[in-house]
């Protein structure tokens, strides 16, 4: 158990819908990262937050957004969902600058029908 929690574990929805994935980092970690794992793209970095502020952006679509709240939990919002958004979405956390080892949550498996 990495100490990173993600909810829900599974999510099934329809095209065009919007969903919110939630992540709670390990106690004491200030950085949160979101990754997408799909069969065709592999594991891809989406976005990073550090202490509430966006720090880095990867291959995140404009239909996707994220935020980190004052209690350091983070949410990833996926809207106008398409079939190709079906994937495993991971959250990871790390302490912050100077201590960047990332610990991953169990993931949220999203299926768009």
Partner 1 sequence: GEDVEQSLFLSVREGDSSVINCTYTDSSSTYLYWYKQEPGAGLQLLTYIFSNMDMKQDQRLTVLLNKKDKHLSLRIADTQTGDSAIYFCAESIGRTGANNLFFGTGTRLTVIP
d(CA 30, CA 77): 20
Q: Which is nearer to partner 1, 27 or 101 (CB)?
A: 101
- Asked whether position 26 contacts partner 1 by CB under 8 A, the answer is no
Q: Which is nearer to partner 1, 25 or 107 (CB)?
A: 107
Token pair for 6: 């993600």
* Residues 6 or more apart in contact with residue 24 via CB below 8 angstroms: 4, 5, 6, 72, 73
Q: Taking CB under 8 A as the rule, which mask of x and - marks residues 28-67 in contact with partner 1?
A: -----x-x------xxxx--x-x----xx-x---------
Q: What are phi and psi of 68, to 5 degrees?
A: -120, 130
Q: Which parts of this chain interact with partner 1 (CB under 8 A)? A: 2, 33, 35, 42-45, 48, 50, 55-56, 58, 90, 92, 94, 97, 100-107
């Amino acid at each position: 158990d990495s100490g990173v929690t993600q909810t829900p574990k599974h999510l099934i929805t329809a095209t065009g819908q919007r969903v919110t994935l939630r992540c709670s980092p390990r106690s004491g970690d200030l950085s949160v990262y979101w990754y997408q794992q799909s069969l065709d793209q592999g594991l891809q970095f989406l976005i990073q937050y550090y202490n509430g502020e966006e720090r880095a952006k990867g291959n995140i679509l404009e239909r996707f957004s994220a935020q980190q709240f004052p209690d350091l939990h983070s949410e990833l919002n996926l809207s106008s969902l398409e079939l190709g958004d079906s994937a495993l979405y991971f959250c990871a956390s790390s302490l912050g600058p100077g201590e960047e080892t990332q610990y991953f949550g169990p993931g949220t498996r999203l299926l768009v029908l």
